[in-house]
Homo-oligomer: A and B are copies of this chain.
Amino acid sequence: MLEKTTRMNYLYDFYHSLLTPKQRSYMSLYYLDDFSLGEIAEEYEVSRQAVYDNIKRTEAMLEEYEAKLLLFEKFQQRQDILKKLSDLLKTQPFATEQGNHLISELEKLD
């Protein structure tokens, strides 16, 4: 199990386009910029509890999207396979450069 912050960062990365602007703001301040709940509450002139509730609901939504679409899980599986492909290509002197270029193109798509 990944540390929760790391997991939330990944899930946010995959699914932030499905969140509302307010959810995106709170989540990115809390998880990416490391603001406290109190600091976010002050910034938006709402209660600390309101920020907390919103973030908890958003975390649950991100987990629901992941349960349905598995984008993060597939990303991890793909990374494992690409690592093996990359190792394989290292053993092929004439294909290594070209192969690595294709693999980096695949990684950009994740």
> Which residue of B68, B74, B84 contacts A109 across the interface (Cβ within 8 Å)?
B74
With a cutoff of 8 Å between Cβ atoms, the chain B residues found around residue A74 in the complex are 109
Chain A: interface secondary structure?
helix
> Which residue of B89, B91, B92, B102 contacts A84 across the interface (Cβ within 8 Å)?
B102
A105 at the interface (CB under 8 A from B): yes
Count the copies: 2
> Which residue of B69, B103, B109 contacts A17 across the interface (Cβ within 8 Å)?
B69
A98 at the interface (CB under 8 A from B): yes
A88 at the interface (CB under 8 A from B): yes
With a cutoff of 8 Å between Cβ atoms, the chain B residues found around residue A82 in the complex are 106
By a beta-carbon cutoff of 8 Å, the part of chain A in contact with chain B is: 15, 17-18, 65, 68-69, 71, 74, 77-78, 81-82, 84-85, 88-89, 91-92, 94-95, 98-99, 102-103, 105-106, 109
